[in-house]
């Protein structure tokens, strides 16, 4: 193989792995929002406990997650294909739309002992250094009032290296056992912050 052939192969591989550069044809924000609400809920309450609430979520976090799905840095059998169709501007429009909505009230209740176990884990992991008071900040997602099922799935995905778009979270979640993750999930879901 010549040097020129090798360079061409590298260029072709890089092109194949790059996120799409073109916009989704016929993009209409209201139509795309309607697609999103099929899972994330018409009133902001997701239709499945494992799906995240995205109404009122941090704008830049939503945008980054859409771009991560599109680029393959985060994978989901539904979201990867949907996000891959959007260019940056379309992803921004969707993120702006959902960030501007009011965070939904999702009934949730912690169990006895969850708060103490969760707070011990939060202190050990220095979670508040990034997550503050659990309301999110730009790239940091809001966790207060999020669905417990989604929080648990996400923490387990980091722990088991299924989700790879935040290496610090992977390292942190490996420290926690399953009962601790469940307690943290239920406690965060039960927090009511308006």
3-state SS, residue 153: helix
71, 165 Cβ separation under 8 angstroms:
no
Question: Is 180 found in the same domain as 138?
Answer: yes
Backbone angles phi, psi at 174, to 5 degrees: -65, -20
Residues 122 and 179 in one domain: yes
pLDDT at 9: 40
The pLDDT of residue 10 is 39
pLDDT of residue 22: 65
Q: Is residue 107 part of a domain?
A: no
User: What pLDDT digit, counting tens, does each position of 137-165 carry?
Assistant: 999 999 999 999 999 999 999 999 999 99
Same-domain check for residues 119 and 71: no
Query: What CATH number does the domain containing 183 carry?
Result: 1.10.760.10
| Whether the predicted pLDDT of 72 surpasses 80 | yes
118 shares a domain with 96: no
Q: What is the pLDDT of residue 23?
A: 84
> Which residues span the domain enclosing 182?
114-190
Number of domains the chain contains: 2
pLDDT for 12 equals 35
**How many other CB atoms are found less than 10 A from the CB of residue 51?**
19
The answer to whether residues 148 and 170 belong to one domain is: yes
Same domain, 82 and 122: no
């Amino acid at each position: 193989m010549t040097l020129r052939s090798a360079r061409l192969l590298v260029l072709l591989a890089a092109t194949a792995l790059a996120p799409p550069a073109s916009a989704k044809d016929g993009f209409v924000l209201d139509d795309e929002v309607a697609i999103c609400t099929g899972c994330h809920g018409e009133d902001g309450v997701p239709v499945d406990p494992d799906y995240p609430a995205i109404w009122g979520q941090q704008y830049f976090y939503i945008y980054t997650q859409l771009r991560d799905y599109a680029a393959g840095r985060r994978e989901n059998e539904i979201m990867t294909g949907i996000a891959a169709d959007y260019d940056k501007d379309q992803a921004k429009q969707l993120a702006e739309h959902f960030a501007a909505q009011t965070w939904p009230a999702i009934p949730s209740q912690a169990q006895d002992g969850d708060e103490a176990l969760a707070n011990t884990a939060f202190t050990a992991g220095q979670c508040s250094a990034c997550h503050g008071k659990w309301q999110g900040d730009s790239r940091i997602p809001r966790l207060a009032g999020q669905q417990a099922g989604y929080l648990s799935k996400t923490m387990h995905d980091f722990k088991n290296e299924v989700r790879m778009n935040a290496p610090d979270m992977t390292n942190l979640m490996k420290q926690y056992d399953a009962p601790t993750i469940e307690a943290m999930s239920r406690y965060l879901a039960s927090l009511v912050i308006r």
